[in-house]
């Protein structure tokens, strides 16, 4: 899955990140999800969500929703295929996790690469597999890596 990373800690930086994020779905499925923890981190992720929602007004052709990070985690596990572009505050991303999360992320990243190398990929990665088939291949690769 193509990914991009950028840091946003000021309204201006957040706006730049949001504009890049909103440009992506225009060439895809025209859906963007804002992920935050605004109920607890009002001055950081709250600002992030607010700025992203303001930028969204300039992209009426892009459907926008927003999710709390904890809810999004469950949604991605249960229905990843429903999402297109996801923009989240940098602290909520994997590169700022603890050592276990970092290890888990490396395991998943390797499993994704192994699944693609074995010939299972979704259309956006040049293959023909459904998201369900791709997920099954990744889970199988994780299992194979632990044997």
110-122 tens-digit pLDDT: 888 899 999 998 8
4 has a pLDDT exceeding 50: no
Asked if residue 2 lies in contact with residue 55, where contact means CB atoms within 8 angstroms, the answer is: no
Candidate from 18-32, 51-65, 91-105 with smallest mean pLDDT = 91-105
Secondary structure (3-state) at 70: helix
C-alpha distance from residue 27 to each of 22, 60, 61, 84, 144 (Å): 10, 14, 11, 11, 35
Contact 36, 66 (CB under 8 A): yes
Write down the mean pLDDT value for the chain: 80
Checking if the pLDDT of 92 tops 50, the result is no
Query: At residue 35, does pLDDT exceed 70?
Result: yes
Our measurement of the distance from residue 24's CA atom to the centroid of its chain's CA atoms, rounded to an integer in Å, reads 12
pTM tops 0.85: no
Answer whether residue 96 shows pLDDT above 50. Answer: no
- Measured between alpha carbons, how far is 134 from 86 in angstroms, rounded to an integer? 19
């Amino acid at each position: 899955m193509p990914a991009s990373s950028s840091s946003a800690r000021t309204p201006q930086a957040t706006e730049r990140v949001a504009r890049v994020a909103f440009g992506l779905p225009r060439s895809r499925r025209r859906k963007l999800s804002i992920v935050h923890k605004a109920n607890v981190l009002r001055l950081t992720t709250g600002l992030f969500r607010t700025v992203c929602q303001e930028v969204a007004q300039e992209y009426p052709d892009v459907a926008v929703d927003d999710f709390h990070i904890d809810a999004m985690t469950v949604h991605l596990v249960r229905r990843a295929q429903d999402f297109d572009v996801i923009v989240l505050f940098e602290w909520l991303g994997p590169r700022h996790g603890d050592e276990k999360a970092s290890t888990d992320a490396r395991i998943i990243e390797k499993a994704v690469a192994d699944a693609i190398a074995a010939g299972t990929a979704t259309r956006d990665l040049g293959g023909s597999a459904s998201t369900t088939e791709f997920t099954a291949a990744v889970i199988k690769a994780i299992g194979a890596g632990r044997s």
